[in-house]
Every structure is written in structure tokens, then in C-alpha cells.
Structure 1
């Protein structure tokens, strides 16, 4: 397989994952009508992170899927952020829509300007602007996930975040990371961008296993052992229960007045 073709296939797979990654989270927020536990600042950081990430992928001429991927990240992050405003802070729909559209226009303008500026810098063999874009995107993506680490530390549980979303996003990071490896030249900075977030998501999965899954399994096993080891005693039975009873409990109740007469 030709290396650019492999990079495009893997990058497209990663872009598809990133295209749908936040949809489960958006659906869960809509279904339960709240965003408690979901960090709105994380979504805002991710929306901003899409700018340097898009600039880096476009100027470095990475595969087309990775260039589109950053734009999808910004859009879906802002939609989820709007849900945090609507359900969490009780903003009106008009106010949320105004905030999202305004930010999209601002971030889009900044990204467009940076693309033209950094192409000129690249033609002049200046490397530090591209390094800055890579570092900024990696830091902003990581900072967004780290907001959940603080919430996990405070509450000792993973709350408000969909593990389906985490899994899809982590898969997107993995495919994008591998696609960078299969480029005609290995881009170390691109690997750092996607690798950093992938490691942090793996940490969230581990926290979910420790703080959510293990306590649930322990509690479930305790309930099952109690049900097996403690037989039902006579005083735990309903008053209408009898080993020798032939009539139903309702029959006993109906006949009781007749017996008293």
C-alpha cells in the first residue's frame, strides 16, 4: 500500500470518529436535560484548540481528513458548550445561538488569518510559528481533558461524561496518530498533539474503572451473596403467607368480618 493512501485512510477514519465523537454526549445532554458534571470550560477549550490544530494541519499539508477534522471539532465543541449554557446556566436558545455563531465567526477569522501568515513564515523557513501552533493545540486539548481530572479528584467518580464519547474520541486520536506516522514524512509534532490527548483519555477510562465500575461490581456481588446466604425466615414473610395456607390473602381478608360475627 502506498504510504499517502494509508495516511488518508487512517486519517479519514480518525476524522469520522471525531465527526461523531460528541454526538453521544450531545444526545445524552438533550435526553436528561442537564449537563451536570460536564465541564463547559472543556468544550470551550476544545473549540479554541481547533484553531491552531486546523492551522497546523492545513499549513503542514497533512491529509485532507485531518484538515477537516479540526473544523468539526470546533463546531461540535461549541454546540456542546451551548448545551452547558442552556441547561446549566439557563440561557435562552437565542442567547446560546448568538454566542455560538459569534464565536464561530471570530475563530474562523483568526484561523484564516493565521493560515495565510504561517504559509508566508514557512516559505521563509521559519519553524517556530508551526511549533507554536502544535504546542498550543496540544496544550488546549490536554487542558480540556484535565478539567475532568479535577472533577474526578473532587468527587471521586467520573460523572457527566459519556464513556461512548470518550471511547470514540480516543479511537479518533489513535487513528489520527497512526495516520501521521504513515505520512510521507513522520511529523513528530503531529504525533505529540494526538498522542497527548489519547494518553489522557486512557487515564479517564482507568479512573472510570476504579471509581465507577469496581464499586458497582463490589456492591452487586455483596447483594448477590446476601441473597444466597440468608434464607427467608418466617418473620420476614408477609402476614398472609403460610405454609399450609390454601386460600389467597384476599380471601382471608374478606372472610375475617364473617368470622367475627
Structure 2
């Protein structure tokens, strides 16, 4: 959520510099604020922050975002009007990468949960998909189609549709387990068969930690064995305090 909120800054700068339609200029501002509010809610409900602390932090961040966006717009406009395109293109690429990077944890979660989507409201997802789709259509109706942002909107639509398809596939595959869990008066997470089925997911984070820990242990044991082999035999040690003494 924080990454998406940050992406609203270069997103807005690019939209203003390219003189997009008014809705496409307003959209990144709303997107930045709403994602920021969602992030503050995660701090309050997930990490048990105080409401005033999270709200104050959000207001400070939004003020910084607004100042940064205004400064970049005034800094980029003069060279862009003289035909210098690369600063605007760079801002657009940063916006593209920042927005898409917010989706990066999703494939790992889907692998871990075997296709199940957890923690995402599908009504919100549908609203977001419609926003990306109609923004793409708004770009199509312009005099000149913007390839960079057209690609970004198309990717957002594809990623969100793949999430829905993944969850529907999960529901189809687990329909029997969920039915038996409901008959026993338990949820899928509490039902033993559901726990066993879910445990077969691939947790890439744990795998990477195990590989890293294994390499560290191998390096430590190797170093320890070398040190033991390199130790001198006690009979060959000659104390410095007593000349020509044998131990």
C-alpha cells in the first residue's frame, strides 16, 4: 500500500506533464490518498499503532508527496516545453516500476497458499480493475496513445484478473474439503484435511532462508574443521616463558 501511495507522485507528475485528460490527472491524486489511508489502517489494525500517530504520519507523508509532486511539475515543464523529453520519460518509468512492484508479493503468496487469495477484498479489487480498465480506454480515446501508461494499465488489469482466476480455481479444487469442514462445524483453516492440503504450498521465503542457513552452517563447520586440523600437537609446543622446555 505504501508503494502504491508513493507511485502516485511520479504518476501524477507524468499525467500533468503529458497533459492527459482531466480524469487521468485526478486519478493518481485519489489513488495516492486512498492507498495512504489503507496503509495507515494497516498500521492501526495490523501493527497496533495509535490512531493519532498513524494519522499524523499519514498527513506528513501526504504533505511531502504533494510538495514533491508540485516541485517536480514546475521543474520538468520548462525543459519539456523546449523539446527535452527524457526527464518526463524517466518519471513515467519510475511511476511504472513503483506501481508494478506493489504486486510483486502476490505470486509468492499464491504459491504459498496454493492459489488462495487472502486479505484482499474482491469488491475493492473489482473497483480497482474497473479503474485500470476505464483509464486504459481513456488513453485509447486520446489523440495520441501513451504506450508506457497503456502497458501499465493493461498489466494491472491482467494481474488482477489472474488473482480472481487463481482464487476461483482454489475454490474449485477445495470444494470437497470445504464442504466436509462445514459439515463438521469448522472452518477450512481449522479442519485437519484443510490444514494438510494447505501445508503442501510452496513457501519460497522459508526455502531461501533454509538455503542461506545451510550455506552458513557449511561454511562455519568447514572453518571449524580447518582450525582443528591446524592445531599443533601438544608435544611440539614450546612455551615462551621457559626456553627449550618440552610439554
Could you say whether these structures have the same fold, taking a TM-score greater than 0.5 normalized by the shorter chain as the test?
yes
**How far off its partner does 1:218 sit?**
3.7
Structure 1 residues 215 and 106, CA gap change in structure 2 (3 angstroms): same
Encode CA deviations 1:115-172: one digit per residue, 9 max, x unaligned.
1111112112122122212222221121112222222222332100011111111111
Q: Does residue 146 of structure 2 align to residue 187 of structure 1? A: yes
Q: Distance in 2 between matches of 1:113 and 1:54?
A: 12
**How far off its partner does 1:220 sit?**
6.0
Runs (5+) with no aligned partner, structure 1: 1-42, 225-261
Q: Does residue 95 of structure 2 align to residue 137 of structure 1? A: yes
The question of whether the paired residues in 1 share the 8 Å contact of 2:96 and 2:149 is answered with no
Q: Does residue 66 of structure 2 align to residue 66 of structure 1? A: no
- Helix, strand or coil at the partner of 1:145: coil
* 1:155 match: 113
The two structures have a TM-score, normalised by structure 1, of 0.65
* 2:75 aligns with one of 108, 117, 120: 117
RMSD (CA atoms): 1.8
* 1:210 match: 169
Q: Distance in 1 between matches of 2:9 and 2:99?
A: 11
Q: Distance in 2 between matches of 1:142 and 1:223?
A: 37
* 2:56 match: 98
- Helix, strand or coil at the partner of 1:166: helix
Q: Distance in 2 between matches of 1:110 and 1:130?
A: 15
Runs (5+) with no aligned partner, structure 2: 183-247
**How far off its partner does 1:203 sit?**
1.7
The question of whether the paired residues in 2 share the 8 Å contact of 1:82 and 1:97 is answered with yes
Structure 1 residues 160 and 220, CA gap change in structure 2 (3 angstroms): closer
Larger RCO (alpha carbons 8 Å, 6+ apart): 1
Q: Does residue 138 of structure 2 align to residue 175 of structure 1? A: no
Query: How many residue pairs were aligned?
Result: 181
* 2:156 match: 197
Q: Distance in 2 between matches of 1:207 and 1:136?
A: 29
